[in-house]
């Protein structure tokens, strides 16, 4: 089983985006998820670190410069996607990653509080 840890930089970025109202609470993640080309473009533009800040988990078994090092995306490189947070929380729960599940849940609660 992969060794995942919470990506604190991603959580911090997501919190800032949510607080600033930069979230999408209507688009399904299957429609909003960046394509492979969009992922590659962002990674080229923002670098590995910037790309990683859009993922809630780091797979410590993957090399530092690899795209596969980052897991559990939560947005489209511009906004947090509510459905992506739900998806991340469910996947983390199903795959026994309680820390990732908790991070996604806390962000989801923060977003929902901001919405109301």
**Is residue 97 very low, low, confident or very high in pLDDT (cuts 50, 70, 90)?**
very high
Integer-rounded Cα radius of gyration of the chain: 13
pTM: 0.94
Judge contact between 57 and 70, C-beta under 8 A. Answer: yes
Query: Where along the chain do its domains lie?
Result: 4-115
Closest by CA to 115, choosing from 89, 90, 80, 87, is: 80
Residues 6+ apart with CB under 8 A from 6: 56, 57, 58, 99, 100, 103
For position 1, what pLDDT does the model report?
67
Closest by CA to 46, choosing from 72, 20, 77, is: 77
For position 32, what pLDDT does the model report?
95
pLDDT tens digits along 39-90: 999 999 999 999 999 999 999 999 888 889 999 999 999 999 999 999 999 9
């Amino acid at each position: 089983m992969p060794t995942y840890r919470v990506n604190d930089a991603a959580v911090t970025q997501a919190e800032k985006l949510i607080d600033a109202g930069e979230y999408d609470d209507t688009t399904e993640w299957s429609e909003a998820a960046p394509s492979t080309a969009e992922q590659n473009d962002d990674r080229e533009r923002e670098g590995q670190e910037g790309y990683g800040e859009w993922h809630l988990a780091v797979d410590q078994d993957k090399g530092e410069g690899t795209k596969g090092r980052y897991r559990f995306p939560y947005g489209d490189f511009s906004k947090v996607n509510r459905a992506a947070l739900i998806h991340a929380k469910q996947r983390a729960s199903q795959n026994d990653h309680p820390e990732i599940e908790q991070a996604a849940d806390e962000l989801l609660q923060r977003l929902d509080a901001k919405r109301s």
